[in-house]
Amino acid sequence: MVPRLRVGVLFGGRSGEHEVSVMSAVSVVEHLDPSQYEVICIGITPQGDWVKVPSPQADWTTSGARSVSILPQPNGKGLCYGDGSSEPLDVVFPVLHGPYGEDGTIQGLLELAGLPYVGAGVLGSAVSMDKDVMKRLFLQAGLPVLTYRRVMRRLWEQDRCSVLARLEDHVGYPCFVKPANLGSSVGISRAKNRRQLELGLEHASLYDGKMLVETAAPDAHEIECSLMGNDDLQVSIPGEIIPSRDFYDYAAKYEDGTSQLLIPAPLAPDVTARVQQLALAAYRAVDASGYGRVDLFVQRQDHRVWVNEINTIPGFTSISMFPKLWEASGVGYSELLNRLITLALERHADKERNVTSCKPNR
Ligand SMILES: Nc1ncnc2c1ncn2[C@@H]1O[C@H](COP(=O)(O)OP(=O)(O)O)[C@@H](O)[C@H]1O
Ligand SMILES: [Mg+2]
């Protein structure tokens, strides 16, 4: 009998998206085939402590939760306990959204520990988390991006008047204000005038030292595509989000439950093909690997397309767009997890080929 792979699922985390991550992890754990995988659930508390728990739904504060860590040495120990004991892990599945999870930090630890992990590496994760660097890479790859300006919190606090004037000159209204490094619409608002822009910047500056102010996409479909692969990429059919509110804010995403997903998105075949081609180019532009979801805007009238963002750890509940798009493209949830784990092992094996000492080229 082939031994089961020991999969460490990481969830929770020190980010505004803690709760969303737990919801995603519940679905991932439920769909990992027990005949192939032994699942080890590792919760990260909002304070950043790591605990091994029986399931993501379990109460992490009970005595059943044990303090654990992964050490930054490639010693094959896997998961380590305070008493010096350890248990091996074959692969880690970070189901963490936002900072300290989707941004390359956890990925860096897993690289140092020599553990294979699902999803983008350090670089792809880090540049995709920062909306400013991400959009600069999109622009450099020739992808269509809405006009935006970066605003540093320090400058905003020093000289509000000139920041507002510059934004009105270059971006105008209506616009969106966003913290650069977050997700799930946390800290994002729409501004139609100077007062709202000011309030939006005040609010976004609570979350990050860097913010973006971006032109609002005029009368557009909100379209998403799922992708997977390391070198050979696959792209799903596109889906459309119909937000239940003014825009797809935190409440529309997770709280009121009445936003709709249209799968497939009602786009003409040539527009679908263009969306898929741009999604693939966006994935490549940020050096993503494993999987990701690319979000775009498509103008209703003339079908003009803009790339909005890539998420390297997209929402993964069973009703989330990422697995639903794969399902509609012929890849069920459990099969999707199998493929992502295989991609993680393949990327790790490829990296293991690199020599880590200097061999003279004679
Ligand atoms: N430029 C824009 N034009 C129109 N809607 C936008 C724009 N930017 C963001 N939004 C709305 O805000 C939501 C969240 O913004 P997004 O940039 O995707 O950040 P997040 O990483 O938090 O998902 C989008 O899904 C969309 O509904
Ligand atoms: Mg988004």
**Residue carrying structure tokens 């402590």:** 49
Q: What is the pLDDT of residue 63?
A: 62
Q: Are 269 and 248 in contact (CB under 8 A)?
A: no
pLDDT tier, 360 (very low <50, low <70, confident <90, very high otherwise): confident
The answer to whether the CB of 247 is under 6 A from ligand 1 is yes
CA of 185 to the centre of ligand 1 (A): 7
- Return the best residue to mutate from 212, 241, 247, 293 for the ligand 1 pocket (most ligand atoms within 8 A of CB): 247
Q: Give the whole-angstrom CA distance, residue 310 versus residue 288.
A: 9
CA distances from 2 to 34, 37, 39, 339 (A): 13, 11, 16, 18
Percent of the chain scoring above 90 in pLDDT: 81
Among protein residues, the one whose CA lies closest to atom 24 of ligand 1? 248
* Residue with CA closest to ligand 1 atom 1: 216
Whether the pLDDT of residue 256 is over 90: the answer is no
Nearest-CA residue for ligand 1 atom 13 is 248
| Alpha-carbon torsion, ordered 334, 340, 345, 349, to 10 deg | 150
The token pair at 263 is 């799968």
- Closest residue to atom 8 of ligand 1, CA basis: 176
* 349: pLDDT strictly greater than 90: yes
pLDDT in tens, 297-348: 999 999 999 999 999 999 999 889 999 999 999 999 999 999 999 999 999 9
Question: Cis omega (within 30 of 0) on the bond before 264?
Answer: yes
Q: 183 CB less than 6 Å from ligand 1?
A: yes
How many angstroms separate the Cα of 241 from the Cα of each of 14, 57, 88, 263? 28, 28, 41, 9
194 CA from centroid of ligand 1 (Å): 19
In Å, how far from its chain's centre is CA 241?
17
> Could you write out the three-class secondary structure of the chain?
CCCCEEEEEEEECCCCCHHHHHHHHHHHHHHCCCCCEEEEEEEECCCCCEEEECCCCCCCCCCCCEEEEECCCCCCCCEEECCCCEECCCEEEEECCCCCCCCCHHHHHHHHCCCCECCCCHHHHHHHHCHHHHHHHHHHCCCCCCCEEEEEHHHHHHCHHHHHHHHHHHCCCCEEEEECCCCCCCCCEEECCHHHHHHHHHHHCCCCCEEEEEECCCCEEEEEEEEEECCCCEECCCEEEECCCCCCCHHHHHHCCCCEEECCCCCCHHHHHHHHHHHHHHHHHCCCCEEEEEEEEEECCCCCEEEEEEECCCCCCCCCHHHHHHHHCCCCHHHHHHHHHHHHHHHHHHHHCCCCCCCCCC
* Ligand nearest, relative to CA of residue 217: 1
* Amino acid identity, position 101: G
Residues 132-145: pLDDT tens digits? Answer: 999 999 999 999 99
The ligand placed nearest to the CA atom of residue 241 is 1
* Domains of the chain as residue ranges with CATH: 5-117 (3.40.50.20), 135-142+218-349 (3.30.470.20), 147-215 (3.30.1490.20)
pLDDT in tens, 207-230: 999 999 999 999 999 999 999 999
Hey, whose CA ends up nearest to atom 16 of ligand 1? 185
With a 6 Å cutoff on the Cβ, whether 189 touches ligand 1 is no
Mutate to test the pocket of ligand 1, among 221, 248, 320 (most ligand atoms within 8 A of CB): 248
Across 64-82, average pLDDT? 89
Which residue type is seen at 117? Y
Cβ of residue 102 lying under 6 Å from some atom of ligand 1? no
Among all bound ligands, the one having the nearest atom to the CA of 131 is: 1
User: Minimum-distance ligand to the CA of 98?
Assistant: 1
pLDDT digits (tens, 9 = 90+) for 77-133: 899 998 999 999 999 999 999 889 999 999 999 999 999 999 999 999 999 999 999
8: alpha, beta or left, given left = phi > 0 and alpha = psi -120 to 50? Answer: beta
C-alpha count within 13 angstroms, C-beta hemisphere, residue 86:
12
Ligand lying nearest the CA atom of residue 189: 1
Taking the C-alpha atoms of residue 5 and residue 235, their distance in angstroms, rounded to an integer, is 27
The amino acid occupying position 309 is E
C-alpha of residue 299 to centroid of ligand 1, in Å: 14
Name the least confident of 28-32, 85-89, 257-261, 306-310: 257-261
